[in-house]
C-alpha cells in the first residue's frame, strides 16, 4: 500500500479540507498566534468542557468540544505555515492532545462517580485506557521504525462518537462505543506491528 495515501478517516478529512484549514491558519499566522498558544487554548477549553461534563451539563460541554475540534488540525498547520515545525513541537502537541482527551474522560468519571454508577466508572476507565493505548501503540511502534497509522478509532473518530453522545445527552452510549472500539484499535495496531516485524524478519532471512 502507498503510505502517502490516507489510511484513516482523519487522514482523509485532513487532505480533503487542507485548503480551508490552511486559509484559517494563514489568518492566525497574520494575527501573530503561535502554535503553542493555540494548543494551550485548546487545553484550557477542554478543561472547561470537562468541568461542564462533570456537572452533567452535557449539551454545553459537547458544544465546547465541537468548537475546539478544529484546533487539533490548526496547531500543526500553523506551525507549518510559520516554518516552526520541529520534533519538539510535534511532541508537545501530542502530549497536550493526550491531556485534553483525558480531561474529558476525567469529567465523565467524576459525573458517574457522583451518581455511584460503578459500572460506568469502570467503562470510562476502559475507554480512557484504550484511547491512550491507541496513541501509545503508534508512538512506540514508530519509535521502533514501523508504520503505525491504521486502525478503526483514532482520536478524530473518538470525538465523532463522544461529541454527539454528549450533545444528545447519551454519554453512556458514547463511552461504551469508545471502550470497545478504542481497545479494538489498539489490538489492530499491535497486530499490524507484529505483521511488519514478521515480514522484516522473513525478508532478512531470505536475503542471507
Q: What is the spatial distance between Cα 152 and Cα 137, in angstroms, rounded to a whole number?
A: 13
Which residue range(s) make up the domain with 33? 9-206
Q: Give me the number of domains the chain comprises.
A: 1
Choosing from 72, 75, 93, 97, the catalytic residue is 97
Per the domain annotation, does 156 fall within a domain? yes
**b/e code 124-143 from CB counts within 10 Å (16+ = b):** bebbbebbbbbbebbeebee
Catalytic, 93? Answer no
CATH of the domain at 38: 1.20.120.1760
The angle subtended at Cα 96 by Cα 95 and Cα 100, nearest 5°, is 120
Per the domain annotation, does 196 fall within a domain? yes
Per the domain annotation, does 66 fall within a domain? yes
Q: What is the spatial distance between Cα 148 and Cα 49, in angstroms, rounded to a whole number?
A: 30
Per the domain annotation, does 4 fall within a domain? no
Per the domain annotation, does 162 fall within a domain? yes
Q: What is the pLDDT along the chain (208 residues), one digit of tens a residue?
A: 444 444 666 666 666 656 666 677 677 777 777 878 888 988 999 999 999 999 999 999 999 999 887 777 777 777 777 777 777 777 888 899 899 999 999 999 999 999 999 999 999 999 999 999 999 999 999 999 998 887 888 888 999 999 999 999 999 999 999 999 999 999 999 999 999 999 887 777 676 6
Q: Are 78 and 25 in contact (CB under 8 A)?
A: yes
Per the domain annotation, does 3 fall within a domain? no
DSSP 56: T
Per the domain annotation, does 2 fall within a domain? no
Per the domain annotation, does 108 fall within a domain? yes
Amino acid at each position: 500500500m502507498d503510505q502517502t495515501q490516507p489510511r484513516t478517516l482523519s487522514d482523509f478529512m485532513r487532505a480533503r479540507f487542507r485548503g480551508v484549514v490552511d486559509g484559517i491558519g494563514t489568518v492566525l499566522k497574520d494575527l501573530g498566534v503561535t502554535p503553542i498558544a493555540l494548543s494551550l487554548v485548546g487545553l484550557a477549553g477542554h478543561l472547561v468542557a470537562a468541568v461542564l461534563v462533570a456537572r452533567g451539563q452535557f449539551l454545553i460541554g459537547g458544544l465546547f468540544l465541537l468548537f475546539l475540534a478544529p484546533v487539533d488540525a490548526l496547531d500543526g498547520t500553523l506551525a507549518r505555515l510559520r516554518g516552526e515545525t520541529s520534533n519538539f513541537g510535534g511532541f508537545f502537541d501530542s502530549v497536550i492532545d493526550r491531556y485534553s482527551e483525558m480531561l474529558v474522560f476525567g469529567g465523565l468519571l467524576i459525573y458517574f462517580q457522583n451518581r455511584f454508577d460503578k459500572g460506568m466508572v469502570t467503562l470510562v476507565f476502559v475507554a480512557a485506557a484504550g484511547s491512550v493505548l491507541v496513541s501509545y501503540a503508534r508512538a512506540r511502534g514508530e519509535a521502533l521504525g514501523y508504520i503505525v497509522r491504521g486502525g478503526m478509532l483514532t482520536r478524530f473518530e473518538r470525538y465523532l462518537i463522544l461529541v454527539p453522545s454528549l450533545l444528545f445527552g447519551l454519554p453512556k452510549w458514547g463511552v461504551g462505543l469508545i471502550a470497545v472500539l478504542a481497545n479494538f484499535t489498539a489490538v489492530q495496531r499491535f497486530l499490524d506491528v507484529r505483521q511488519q516485524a514478521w515480514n522484516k524478519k522473513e525478508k532478512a532471512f531470505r536475503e542471507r
